[in-house]
Chains A and B, each alone.
Chain A
């Protein structure tokens, strides 16, 4: 057979790895034909909404629902008393704690769910909520975790024994009624010794403020109990549909095969949609009670006040070094504010997530980390907001400590990083706090970044600016923000990563159709990352069929193989690997079919782009399309018909993407206004599947980093009132505040991942926050600033300038 198409053209036709393939998802979204959970409409569907507590800490004396039930359109009002006989007034959290579904005798945070009103439509539900009478008795409020650890006020009476003793929690002994756990990593005494004896020690306390992922679409669900068939269908904004199915089964007693969980299109997640929320449970119960489908959709205020905060870490660090700047030890203590219930979404064995990646990209011989979790009168959550479990906190901590050490040493912060980086030849590198970094080439990335921005030129310009400022020629300072981060993503190996006992593997199932197209189903779910586009690319390269001929389906637990979902940048490292491995199984069978068709031995054919060719005789070949057809129409001795495969991938290790970021910022000393002049981001996420999508992820992650660093926070007053419950007060940057970003890359493949990919969705957020923050702090370094807390909004920056005497 003559082949008119060149090999390059054949590669191009596949639109496989490395191609900036346009997204297949976009047609429906650009035409308003997405199908998000609030777009779902079922016959007779009802709408549920919560009566929420106005108080942060109060006893509930009574709830009167009689008047609400009289409101036209209201069908039912659920309270804890209604859920109790079903054992559903409390539910387990992902962190081994339990959480009230509806207030059981008291409330622990403002906005807590007290009653669930079910009505014919949203307006009737709102009328019903108005009519529910709740009598509260206010209790003393604890919003400061340090005070909570000293206070006599007990937030969780359910966790104190009758004799007043404090039983151990899910993560070991507790020191106080409001204490949740102490978690340690590393060597305490040796680290303290190193620090005591060190030539130079820098110390700093920093507060990584509470914030919120705030995707544009809030959380919601539709529960539909079909009493005839005994089947429950639950549509919702779930980042982990299979895990939700298992949890629903465990807590409701409905057998898992009778539950179908579907994640339709999701309007962004960023960690917000990982958890299990009272709204899901109440919708299911309400559907069972009323016999009708029930929809629950948060409004923005509900979302910001109650589901899934992030961060809220009070971190104290000590870093020691030689006079020349070689780091010798790192000590970190965290007081972690978890709110009223411990609902952090972390792998079970890691109550502080992967905070123990806090030695960062540096070769630090000795380190110790201790985290104390604390209950307060704030909303529960503690999700990974566009990061792998607590990695943002860890990277912020080390990237600030490096800057503080540079000040102490009177050294350039870029140089200090360079002399402490883990060297290329040290990989795989085992860090002092236990992780084994798979691969990296930090020096190359750092040098490329500094060169790209003309780092020395920038420092010279900055020095001149300081001169001019002192001479009264300008009122603007210039900050150069640096950050070098190492992420830890792709959770994770089943041997040490599980959630509620479910191993954190992921899966892919592929069916090749006779005419050479395919469908692949995965246990993950896209929330904008473009899985339907990129997973098809991975497969195209593996099985030699064009990406355009491969449908990717996710999010329906009745059809997709079991998987742990999408968060913590785990889709590419875990499900992407499963996809490649399933593709390889297809290819192995295709090889046998090809050999049979070509009448040679299996070993005599080899894979080439989109076909198997006879070794040494490239004119003899069978394309994957031909092989697919043969799989269905030929009786091949010893080979079953069909061409399908499934793979469950348990990653041997995490992956460790890294990157080098530089931000150049002007700051108006008199107004506190920041102007980002330049932002350069070099990312190394290993093998690059789709550069266009990678860049998009970087732009988005950096913008969320900008938000967190420069203004976004969930703030409480002393009474536990949320001060930032609407988008008026909660900062989401618009096109007007956001700069253009310069993106760049190096490629250091992961040695243990089938295609060498590491994941990228969260890197820019993880590396971006310290970079923006460091830029602000660096602007004031010449005037004696060592550290100020985020968020660096105009007011706080103005205050810093004022305290440094720059307004005198």
Chain B
């Protein structure tokens, strides 16, 4: 065991400060230390995307990043994307279009999709398939996930237009 490191994070808008071993993975920090269990573990090798969070504006698989590497960063998980009183359009759309079954991939999927739509508010089906290829779902066959993301994009664009 090596010396613990002093780490500061801002997770879902809340400041966190703790001592951790250098080997502590960010997903572990979130789930075990901070009790943020929305992000899941499906592989711990960067393949499945169940652990996807947003770090400083980028989609990151938190199973392959040390907490120490995230020191000073802003982290957003599914819990920070929307709750019962302020659902994100993606959360609504996934339910509306049956974009989930067991739900295990869903937090990572939605978290990734928020970034995808920020980067490209009008994605084609192909762009969605490519942009979501880092997130594996074993249940849905993706068809309804794509539909959900398309529906959310339309909804968000309409809302933006209405606001302008």
Give the interface of A toward B (CB within 8 A): 22-23, 25-34, 36, 38-39, 41, 72, 121-123, 127, 214-218, 265-268, 270, 297, 299-300, 527-530, 692-693, 695-704, 726-728, 732, 734-736, 738, 740-741
Contacts and interface: CB of A to CB of B under 8 A. Distances in A.
Nearest to A33: B38
A26 B103 CA distance: 8
B45 A728 contact: yes
Interface centre among B40, B83, B91, B103 (most CB of A within 10 A): B103
A68 to B, nearest CB: 15
Interface residues of B, number: 61
A661 to B, nearest CB: 14
A300 B45 contact: yes
B6 interface: no
A218 B107 CA distance: 17
A300 B43 contact: yes
Contact of A530 (B28, B41, B101): B101
B101 A528 contact: yes
Given A123-B23, A216-B48, A728-B47, A30 B94 contact: yes
A218 B44 CA distance: 12
Interface of B: 1, 21, 23-24, 28, 31-32, 35-45, 47-48, 50, 77-79, 82-84, 87, 90-91, 94-96, 98, 100-107, 110, 128-130, 132-146
A72 B1 contact: yes
A735 B95 contact: no
A528 B103 contact: yes
Interface centre among A216, A699, A727, A735 (most CB of B within 10 A): A735
Contacts of A738: 129, 141-143
Contacts of B77: 32
Nearest to B41: A38
B100 A217 contact: no
B44 A216 contact: no
A624 to B, nearest CB: 28
Nearest to A698: B141
Nearest to A29: B103
A406 to B, nearest CB: 29
A703 B142 CA distance: 9
A31 B91 contact: yes
Contact of A266 (B96, B102, B130, B136): B102
A730 to B, nearest CB: 9
A726 B45 CA distance: 8
Contacts of B40: 36, 38, 216-217, 267
B20 to A, nearest CB: 10
Nearest to A127: B1
Say what secondary structure dominates the interface of chain B: loop
B34 to A, nearest CB: 12
Contacts of A695: 98, 144
A518 B6 CA distance: 52
A471 to B, nearest CB: 32
A216 B137 CA distance: 7
A31 B79 contact: yes
A267 B43 contact: no
Contacts of A698: 141
B50 A700 contact: no
Nearest to B132: A735
A38 B107 CA distance: 15
A732 B143 contact: no
B106 A29 contact: yes
A22 B141 contact: no
B141 A30 contact: no
Given A268-B104, A528-B103, A696-B144, A300 B44 contact: yes
A614 B137 CA distance: 52
Contacts of A27: 84, 95
Given A22-B95, A267-B102, A692-B98, A30 B138 contact: no
Given A32-B39, A32-B79, A299-B44, A216 B100 contact: no
A36 B31 CA distance: 12
B103 A726 contact: no
Contact of B129 (A33, A726, A735): A735
Contacts of B137: 216, 735
A121 B33 CA distance: 11
A639 to B, nearest CB: 41
A41 B98 CA distance: 30
Given A300-B43, A735-B145, A23 B32 contact: no
A123 B78 CA distance: 26
B60 to A, nearest CB: 16
Contacts of A699: 140-144
B104 A217 contact: yes
Contacts of B129: 735-736, 738
A647 B134 CA distance: 45
B53 to A, nearest CB: 11
B100 A29 contact: yes
A33 B129 CA distance: 26
Contacts of B133: 734-736
A121 B102 contact: no
A27 to B, nearest CB: 7
Contacts of B44: 299-300
